[in-house]
Chains A and B, each alone.
Chain A
Amino acid sequence: NAGVTQTPKFQVLKTGQSMTLQCAQDMNHEYMSWYRQDPGMGLRLIHYSVGAGITDQGEVPNGYNVSRSTTEDFPLRLLSAAPSQTSVYFCASSPRETQYFGPGTRLLVL
């Protein structure tokens, strides 16, 4: 039981490049979410999903895209990276009240 896994752990992008952050969970949780964490800002919700085929926007969705084709996977796509997207990205899954977080992806956009 691996829990929530994220790849890659680190990534450096140039402005304008696109990429996909991968997230997978093996706990059969319906809820999955993406957060970004910046110094002094806490955890801000980007997108979330309440089940396969269903996604919705969070607090800071601009510049990001998501899809949920299976219960297990919830990838986050950066369409055209910008320096403002430099952050630590956490994926989380949840049965209801408790969120289980992945180890995070540290992204630097130059």
Chain B
Amino acid sequence: GQSLEQPSEVTAVEGAIVQINCTYQTSGFYGLSWYQQHDGGAPTFLSYNALDGLEETGRFSSFLSRSDSYGYLLLQELQMKDSASYFCAVNSGNTPLVFGKGTRLSVIA
């Protein structure tokens, strides 16, 4: 089977940095994705890591360690609009993504 673990809630201050961790157990692994979902909206793609290391896209970065079955999403210079749920997801080959249960990020002033 496949399982992903991520914290259910995180709170951080506007302007700060926050890290959302994700650990996974899968029978096959091609890469780890991150999605953002605002309340009432659909999930939208943020980043994808197939190889070990850090991928940076503006204020967001994502890291993967395949040997540790671990990744994280790093959000810098937090803004109020970053308040949302963040999902990690595993690509294990010919089946669709398997998603974690999501981390609800609250950014406070």
Contact code string A11-43 (vs B, CB < 8 Å = 1, else 0): 000000000000000000001010100001111
Contacts of A90 in B (CB 8 A): 42-43
Nearest A-chain residue to B31, judged by Cβ: A97
Provide the bound-state CA to CA distance between A107 and B100, in Å. 22
Count of interface residues, chain B, beta-carbon cutoff 8 Å = 24
Contacts of B99 in A (CB 8 A): 35, 42-44
Question: Is the CB–CB distance between B96 and A42 below 8 Å?
Answer: no
Contact code string B67-108 (vs A, CB < 8 Å = 1, else 0): 000000000000000000001010100111111111000000
Provide the bound-state CA to CA distance between A44 and B100, in Å. 9
SS class, residues of chain A in contact with chain B: strand
| Interface presence of B45 (CB below 8 A) | yes
| Interface presence of B29 (CB below 8 A) | no
Contact code string A62-90 (vs B, CB < 8 Å = 1, else 0): 00000000000000000000000000001
Contacts of A101 in B (CB 8 A): 42-44
Contacts of A33 in B (CB 8 A): 96-97
Provide the bound-state CA to CA distance between A82 and B90, in Å. 30
**What's the least CB distance linking B60 to chain A, in Å?**
15
Contacts of A61 in B (CB 8 A): none
**What's the least CB distance linking A60 to chain B, in Å?**
12
> Do A92 and B48 contact each other (CB < 8 Å), given the known contacts A41-B101, A43-B43, A97-B33?
no
Nearest A-chain residue to B88, judged by Cβ: A42
Choice from B30, B33, B94, B102 contacting A50 with Cβ under 8 Å: B94
Question: Is the CB–CB distance between A94 and B96 below 8 Å?
Answer: yes
Nearest A-chain residue to B33, judged by Cβ: A97
Question: Is the CB–CB distance between B48 and A97 below 8 Å?
Answer: yes
Question: Is the CB–CB distance between B33 and A42 below 8 Å?
Answer: no
Beyond A40-B101, A41-B101: 13 further Cβ-contacts under 8 Å? A40-B8, A42-B101, A48-B96, A56-B95, A58-B95, A58-B96, A92-B96, A97-B30, A97-B33, A99-B43, A99-B45, A99-B89, A102-B42
